[in-house]
Every structure is written in structure tokens, then in C-alpha cells.
């Protein structure tokens, strides 16, 4: 009989101690209250919308530019592309939007060398755009070196595509 009552008392003590580890128990001891239950969902009746035709704005996207092997200067053809990109920055809907300029390289050369070259490509692209009147605070640069190739090929045609400055609108 003593064994049964001892076992029962032991189990009771175990249960009490195990409940002591419950977060709800500690909340009550500190005087905290649990968060209120979520309010019931209210389903609104569907609204009838009258569609008014609006003239769609002309979509202008930012075009990448490419570089010669082991160079970071802006070529004439790429300067023309950057001047075309100017229209995107001047569009009312893009006013104040930030743009990331990513500098990329082909697979040749060391990782360290290509990271530096990619940064120079991104910086020269930014400087060219600032020279056209774009606010430099809206442009940020990053170099990916040879880590994110556009074309995975291992020939001159692929390498030429990978030597680029890529634009990414952030906002």
C-alpha cells in the first residue's frame, strides 16, 4: 500500500514539475496575460468596379552594356545604350528609384582580379550616367566578377556576353 501511495505521489510531483516548464504557467506567475484571440474574419461584399481605359505608359527597360576583354572603358556603342537608358531614369514613374549596377566579367582570370575589374566596370558605368545628369545617390554598384555568367559557354561568344554591366531597379 505504501508503494502505491508513494508511486502516486511521485507521479503527482512529476506532473506538477512538468507543468512548471509550460510558458503559460510562467505568464500567469508574472501577471502576464496571453495575447487576445484574433477577431473573427469579416467578409466584405464584392465591389463592382468600373474599368476606365487608361493609356498605358511606354515601357522602357534598362539595357545592359558590354565591355572589351580586360577593359572597363565605355565604348561608343555602349555610350549610346546608356543614353537610351537615360529615358528610364527621366520617366515620371521611375523618379527617385534606386538602381544597382552589377559589374560582371568572363571566366578568365583569378577571382580577385575579376572582382576588381567588375567593380571598375560598374563604377565607370555609374560615372557615365552621373555625367549625363543622373543623381549618383540613386545608383549603387557591386561586382560579381566571374561568379554570375550570363552565358555558361566557354568560348569567345559567351565571354563577350559575360563582360557586362547589368542594371537592376531596386524600388
Does the residue 6 lie in any domain? no
What Rg, from alpha-carbon coordinates, does the chain have?
Answer: 31
Strand order of the sheet with strand 65-66? 65-66, 164-169, 99-104, 139-145
Does the residue 30 lie in any domain? no
Q: Which structural domain range is residue 80 located in?
A: 65-169
Does the residue 74 lie in any domain? yes
Does the residue 129 lie in any domain? yes
Q: Report yes or no on whether pTM surpasses 0.85.
A: no
Helix (H, G, I), strand (E, B) or coil at 140: strand
For the chain, what percentages of helix, strand and coil (3-state, to nearest 5) are there? 45, 10, 45
- For residues 124-149, give the mean pLDDT: 95
- For residues 2-10, give the mean pLDDT: 69
- Helix/strand/coil (H, E, C) string of 75-100? CHHHHHHHHHHHHHHHCHHHCCCCEE
- For residues 92-117, give the mean pLDDT: 94
Look at strands 65-66 and 99-104 and give their pairing. Answer: unpaired
Does the residue 9 lie in any domain? no
Does the residue 54 lie in any domain? no
Residues 6+ apart with CB under 8 A from 130: 136, 139
Does the residue 25 lie in any domain? no
Confidence at residue 58, expressed as pLDDT on a 0 to 100 scale: 41
Number of structural domains in the chain: 1
CATH code of the domain covering residue 88: 3.30.1330.60
Does the residue 154 lie in any domain? yes
User: For 15-69, what is each residue's pLDDT tens digit?
Assistant: 666 655 555 555 555 555 555 555 565 555 666 555 545 444 444 489 999 999 9
Amino acid at each position: 500500500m505504501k508503494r502505491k501511495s508513494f508511486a502516486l505521489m511521485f507521479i503527482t510531483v512529476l506532473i506538477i514539475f512538468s507543468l512548471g516548464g509550460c510558458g503559460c504557467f510562467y505568464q500567469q506567475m508574472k501577471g502576464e496575460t496571453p495575447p487576445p484571440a484574433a477577431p473573427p474574419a469579416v467578409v466584405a461584399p464584392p465591389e463592382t468596379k468600373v474599368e476606365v481605359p487608361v493609356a498605358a505608359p511606354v515601357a522602357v527597360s534598362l539595357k545592359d552594356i558590354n565591355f572589351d576583354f580586360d577593359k572597363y572603358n565605355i565604348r561608343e556603342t555602349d555610350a549610346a545604350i546608356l543614353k537610351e537608358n537615360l529615358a528610364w531614369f527621366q520617366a515620371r514613374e521611375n523618379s527617385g528609384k534606386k538602381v544597382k549596377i552589377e559589374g560582371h566579367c568572363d571566366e578568365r582570370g583569378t577571382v580577385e582580379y575579376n572582382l576588381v575589374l567588375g567593380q571598375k566596370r560598374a563604377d565607370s558605368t555609374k560615372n557615365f550616367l552621373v555625367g549625363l545628369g543622373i543623381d549618383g545617390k540613386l545608383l549603387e554598384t557591386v561586382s560579381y566578377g566571374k561568379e554570375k555568367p550570363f552565358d555558361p559557354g566557354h568560348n569567345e561568344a559567351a565571354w563577350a556576353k559575360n563582360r557586362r554591366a547589368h542594371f537592376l531597379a531596386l524600388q
